[in-house]
Structure 1
Amino acid sequence: MKKLLSIILVIFFSSNGHFSFAQKVQVITSSTSQKWVTLKKKEVKIEANAAKADITIFPEQKKQVIDGIGGSFNELGWTAVASLPADQQKEVFEALFSEEGCNFSMCRLPVGSSDYSLSYYSHAEVPEDFEMRDFNIVRDKYILIPYIKEALKVRPDLKLWASPWSPPAWMKVNNHYSLRRGDVEGRPNGNRMPEGAEIMSNATAFKMQERYLQAYALYFSKFVQAYAEEGVPLWAIMPQNEIKWAPNWPACTWRAEDMSYFIGKYLGPQFEVDGLDTEIWLGTINNSNPDYVRTILNKESDAKYISGVGFQWSGSKALPKIKEEYKGMKFMQTENMCGEHENDWTSVEASWKMMVHYFQNMTGSYMYWNMILDEEGNSAWGWPQNSMVVIDRDKQQVIYNDEYYLFKHLSHFVQPGAHYLASSKGDNHIAFELNDGRVMLMVYNPEEAEKSIAVNVSGTSATFKAQGKSISSVIFTLQDEKMKS
């Protein structure tokens, strides 16, 4: 009987000539109550040629390449983690950047002050210093760069990009870092803006005179060069964070035509003259109207300097049309929604929805906002927000929030060079081909109850029970063979 079965199998596989099967399927899951649990072999049922699956992955249909996944460096993150003893600091950086942790491969930093810096500042504080004679990054050498270098110790090939929240105040029409005075949604302003200095019309807040534009292009070039001299090379620059938002913290709105003019006539040429290979990306775009991006990308003489487009917040609504109209352009999700200091599973659900949306729409890189904050999570302007890691300074305690595990389920496996894969329709899963050829599925069970999920890859099905409200990573190790009679 066994001999007959062997003959049948040989005939079957010989007639097909080529087949794929999973040598190994690993399932790692996190829920509201348990984090990063590897299921036992007996808890994962593997079948060949299963008739039915809830989710089917198509490894032969590769989509966009993945450029990187990570979060943002800010001054308040460094002051929080620096309050810990050295051994606990090391634990945090290992958790975020090591192969055993989140394995982050790309991160963001501000050019000058952000809403999570300790105060307003720029790298050119002398008014009308058009030649940038007094340009310096002295402050960053003591705060931001040590933060980044701790990450680089763990992940030396970490890709870094930067964007300003505001130019130096003297380059702006209202001579102030912010665009709005007074309370925003009940939060204290803290910006001491003079009455009448607000710019609320989405007009360009930058002084669009040649000497200011040229000086600002030089400002970016000097920033890139200064960071490189400190051993922190920058892979890309985006000229403005949230280009269509007028808050009461550092900001600068730009009309699309003016941003295009700045990139095409000043920033791009300055990088060329200085021999910089740092890429220029358009972003960060928070405008839901695709016409903003179209206006710039359709101006070929300016767009030739643009390597990609970064979207965040309302910009997500423009991405589906833009990715169809500009084939071959790279896209990034530049800042996930920051929450209200919930730091719980509701934040996971919100971030998961955005993650699915962006990857389904050709995004190749994905950024969290503040990786680390203290127990209050407050910005310098009074907005408490989420973070992956909370440092309780009084208790000297490190807390890894639910969103930490959401991102670990993705970036622990998905590294630069991986590919997004086509899969069956649905809003609760995304799939990737990893660099070593394995196939990885992230799947969310949004229901309260436990749910059985069957995943099919190249004829092999893996079925497991996903806990209620859980994120799971399912990793298939596939092997291709030919069998001959």
Structure 2
Amino acid sequence: MSKIMKGIQYFSDKDHEMTCQEVFESQFMSGAVTLEVSETPVNYGFLGFGVAITGASCYELFQMEPQQRRKILEDIYSEDGLNLSVARLSVGASDYSAELYSYDDEPFDTALEHFSVERDKEYIIPMIKEILEIRPDLYLFASPWSPPGWMKTGGQMCGGYMRREYIDCYAEYFIRYLKAYEEEGIIIRAVTPQNEPETHQFGKMPACIWHPEIESSFILSLKKKLKENNLDVKVWMYDHSFTGTQRVLWMLENTKGLKENCDGAAFHYYDGAIEETMKIRKQYPDLELHFTEGGPRLFDNYGNDWCKWGIMCSKALNLGYRSFTGWNLILNECGGPNIGPFFCGGLVTEDRVSKEIEHSGQYKTFRHIAPFIHPDSKIYAVSPDPYFGEYMSQYPNIMKKTEGFLIENKTEEKVLVLVNPNQNKMQLQIRLEQKWYYVEMMPESISTIVFQR
């Protein structure tokens, strides 16, 4: 006879962080919301959660005392900490860099004789190496915010359009970058052609607009060069908002050879709904989908937006995304260093005066999820049964549905993650292995319930 599962709930709300309480086996409660678990996994082989190791983050880390830096990095990347296992790098400068540069700023150097990553060796590459000491299996992917200015209209890194005549040269630029980093012991596993290819950001930061035909041609050129150089590196197209779903579909449908040479599509959460991207999944089920950018806002619920990120993570996992990457690893109290117009916050913030560390709501969300998901985890969708509905008499303060998922690990451990975005307490129940369990969700809270024998 198998042992009865016991449940331990860890919950976070405005007054608690990972507070622990027991979840008991229960009888059916007719007035509670009943949760249903999908019959088959909706996600398997998930790469993990991560953040961007931007130039700004590396600069902040480099300024710290080594012991303090090590403590922060172990908290974020070790298996005993957040267990982050994916990271994004910027190819040259992003808006969250301390300096504005590319790897070849010599005008019209099509032979790339002046190509060099020497500038990264001061504080970017050393910080990446320190992180790899803690997490040697970290899955790294890289994105450029702009090609060298001379490859673009306007001749500058900030704004402008990519020019077709430099497609092959820029593909070679990528190869040089990948090899230069490999020589430093940093293996990059995937790249995107351009961060946010549908905006020039009005010339206020490194940015570049790419016509979809130019992006398609570049992917084909890059993939050819990767094969010629025996580099096992994936290419994820697009790397912009969910609203670009139709662009991605158009490119795949109208570019010969693209679907065979593109490994995935990358998306940000800034515009549109993630559900839109299921049009891609329906037509191209073998194309990987990745969430590659979205982070806390420094002056907008920075430390308490765990429900937003809990819902976003839940949706991504339930829709079969292969990875989930936030934005900056760490920034200072002003959201810097920053050579752009936005006020983003880091996963963690360091106050340069007090030296105190503040955790974002996204950090708290990752703490509820990332340590419990492993490469062999099976993820099942969890949602209210079909009989859950809105109380229209309470309009416009209608109760929103609970978002969540169930993680099944080889250790026979089951982990239930739930988000209650409402201002009221929710009474929930779920049936696992022929037993009912009652779960109480506090207002605007996220919970992780670990069931073990």
Alignment TM-score > 0.5, same fold? yes
AA aligned opposite 2:271: S
Does 1:428 find its partner at 2:403?
A: yes
Q: Aligned match of 1:238 in 176, 180, 192?
A: 192
Deviations 1:141-186 (A, max 9, x none): 122212212211211111100010000111111111112xxxxxxx
Does 1:108 find its partner at 2:73?
A: no
- Counting matched residue pairs gives 430
Deviations 1:22-67 (A, max 9, x none): 533222111122212222xxx3212489998632324644434312
Q: Aligned match of 1:367 in 325, 341, 351?
A: 325
Deviation at 1:446, TM superposition (A): 2.2
The within-5 A match list for 1:163-202 is: 163-179=143-159, 199=160
CA distance in 2, matches of 1:334, 1:101: 21
Does 1:357 find its partner at 2:315?
A: yes
The within-5 A match list for 1:325-474 is: 325-344=283-302, 347-378=305-336, 379-425=338-384, 426-474=401-449
CA distance in 1, matches of 2:314, 2:104: 40
Q: In structure 1, the residue corresponding to 2:94 is in which secondary structure?
A: coil
Residue 153 of structure 1 corresponds to: 133
Does 1:46 find its partner at 2:5?
A: no
The answer to whether the Cα contact below 8 Å between 1:336 and 1:354 also exists between their aligned partners in 2 is no
Does 1:321 find its partner at 2:296?
A: no
Deviations 1:288-334 (A, max 9, x none): 14321112222341221211111113363641211222112211111
Does 1:90 find its partner at 2:70?
A: yes
CA distance in 2, matches of 1:154, 1:303: 36
Residue 308 of structure 1 corresponds to: 264
Q: In structure 2, the residue corresponding to 1:153 is in which secondary structure?
A: helix
CA distance in 2, matches of 1:107, 1:435: 25
Which blocks of at least 5 consecutive residues in structure 2 are unaligned? 385-400
AA aligned opposite 1:109: L
CA distance in 2, matches of 1:81, 1:394: 15
CA distance in 1, matches of 2:175, 2:4: 50
CA distance in 2, matches of 1:409, 1:301: 41
Residue 75 of structure 1 corresponds to: 55
Q: In structure 2, the residue corresponding to 1:406 is in which secondary structure?
A: helix
Deviations 1:209-229 (A, max 9, x none): 1xx211101110111111111
Q: Which has the higher contact order (CA 8 A, sep 6+)?
A: 1
AA aligned opposite 1:470: S
TM-score by length of 2: 0.88
AA aligned opposite 2:444: K
Residue 251 of structure 2 corresponds to: 296
Q: Aligned match of 1:141 in 93, 97, 121?
A: 121
CA distance in 1, matches of 2:277, 2:435: 34
Residue 272 and residue 22 in structure 1: after superposition, are their counterparts in 2 closer, same or farther (change >3 A)? farther
CA distance in 2, matches of 1:347, 1:69: 17
Which blocks of at least 5 consecutive residues in structure 1 are unaligned? 1-12, 14-19, 180-198, 200-204, 479-485
Residue 401 and residue 423 in structure 1: after superposition, are their counterparts in 2 closer, same or farther (change >3 A)? closer
AA aligned opposite 1:434: N
TM-score by length of 1: 0.83
The answer to whether the Cα contact below 8 Å between 1:339 and 1:347 also exists between their aligned partners in 2 is no
Residue 125 of structure 1 corresponds to: 105
Q: Which has the larger radius of gyration?
A: 1
AA aligned opposite 2:12: S
Q: In structure 2, the residue corresponding to 1:304 is in which secondary structure?
A: helix
CA distance in 1, matches of 2:223, 2:41: 36
CA distance in 2, matches of 1:340, 1:89: 21
Residue 435 and residue 159 in structure 1: after superposition, are their counterparts in 2 closer, same or farther (change >3 A)? farther
Supply the RMSD in Å over aligned alpha carbons: 2.3
AA aligned opposite 1:407: F
CA distance in 2, matches of 1:317, 1:60: 20
Residue 209 of structure 2 corresponds to: 253
Residue 267 of structure 1 corresponds to: 222
CA distance in 2, matches of 1:163, 1:349: 28
The answer to whether the Cα contact below 8 Å between 2:140 and 2:189 also exists between their aligned partners in 1 is yes
Residue 250 and residue 153 in structure 1: after superposition, are their counterparts in 2 closer, same or farther (change >3 A)? same
Q: In structure 2, the residue corresponding to 1:412 is in which secondary structure?
A: helix
